């Protein structure tokens, strides 16, 4: 399964550069784009993943989806970082999670431009190109905090920037890549020390959340009550274990009473 899944991800990543970008369409929300490459990659992944695991289901960004159930289900983002792809910013990834009983048991993020394969299995740790990875042990004041701006939801812009400024004033610095999957993968291998975004879809965080946890990090839905779920749009907060409480305290201070909706 591991090797076959990695080959599927590599083939999907080949679409990023090998296929000409010929269509750019606007979806609902500000600067929310879909391209022919998004559609082609998702179509390929649907065929390949359902063939890899007969009887499984698939939830993807560019398709009509049924509800997440206990059945084996792939949660797929064919191109995480579509705006980056359009601008040839070369910071986009294929994100694939396999869920069983509504929780990810496999997470994979393939960054084709850097030829980096992040992979995790529940209970078995995480690795980058076959080498085990772990979150950093940077303290709070030296932490590098990655964040997303939820650009499709303009009502979240001010709060996102308010939080980013708060972390900039209390930690070492902040970073914005344009791909939540890559931000979570970088957190897992110690390049970032924390990450937040106020509204993400399951295909944005399903694979990355497992990779971070298996690398020793902490991931939460800070504006939700109850257990972590993979069937909703939600805020995501993640960090290395050492600074988790401090990162969460700043987040709570600036989001008290704030409900972005779903």
pLDDT along the chain (262 residues), means of 10: 97 84 66 80 95 95 81 96 92 97 98 97 98 98 96 90 98 98 98 97 97 98 93 96 98 87 46
Locate 171 and state its tokens: 């930690």
Residues 105 and 164 in one domain: no
As for how many domains the chain has, the answer is 2
Cβ neighbours for 90, distance < 8 A, ≥ 6 positions apart: 84, 113
pLDDT for the residue 62: 67
Residues 158 and 112 in one domain: no
Residue 150: CATH number of its domain? 3.40.190.80
Residues 80 and 185 in one domain: no
Q: Which domain holds residue 115?
A: 2-132
Residues 145 and 118 in one domain: no
Residues 88 and 190 in one domain: no
User: What is the rounded distance in angstroms from the CA atom of residue 67 to the CA atom of residue 58?
Assistant: 10
pLDDT for the residue 262: 41
Query: Which of 70, 98, 132 is the last residue before a domain boundary?
Result: 132
Residues 24 and 82 in one domain: yes
| CA 144-148-149 angle, 5° bins | 130
pLDDT for the residue 74: 97
pLDDT for the residue 65: 79
User: What is the rounded distance in angstroms from the CA atom of residue 8 to the CA atom of residue 49?
Assistant: 8
Three-state DSSP at 74 gives strand
């Amino acid at each position: 399964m591991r090797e076959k899944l990695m080959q599927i991800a590599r083939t999907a990543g080949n679409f990023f550069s090998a296929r000409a970008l010929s269509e750019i369409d606007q979806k609902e929300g500000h600067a929310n784009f879909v391209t022919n490459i998004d559609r082609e990659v998702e179509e390929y992944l649907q065929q390949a993943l359902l063939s890899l695991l007969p009887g499984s289901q698939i939830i993807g960004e560019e398709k009509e989806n049924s509800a997440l159930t206990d059945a084996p289900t792939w949660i797929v983002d064919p191109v995480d970082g579509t705006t980056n792809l359009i601008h040839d910013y070369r910071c986009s990834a294929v994100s694939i999670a396999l869920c069983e009983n509504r929780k990810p048991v496999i997470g994979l993020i393939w960054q084709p431009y850097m030829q980096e394969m992040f992979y995790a299995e529940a209970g078995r740790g995480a690795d980058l190109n076959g080498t085990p990875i772990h979150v950093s042990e940077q303290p709070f004041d030296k932490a590098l905090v990655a964040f997303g701006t939820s650009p499709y939801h303009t009502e979240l812009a001010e709060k996102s920037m308010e939080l980013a400024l708060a972390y900039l004033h209390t930690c070492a610095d902040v970073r914005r890549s344009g791909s939540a999957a890559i931000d979570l993968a970088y957190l897992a291998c110690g390049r970032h020390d924390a990450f937040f975004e106020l509204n993400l879809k399951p295909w944005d965080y399903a694979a990355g959340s497992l990779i971070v946890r298996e690398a020793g990090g902490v991931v939460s839905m800070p504006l939700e009550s109850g257990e972590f779920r993979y069937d909703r749009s939600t805020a995501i907060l993640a960090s290395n274990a050492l600074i988790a409480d401090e990162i969460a305290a700043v987040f709570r201070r600036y989001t008290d009473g704030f409900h972005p909706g779903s």
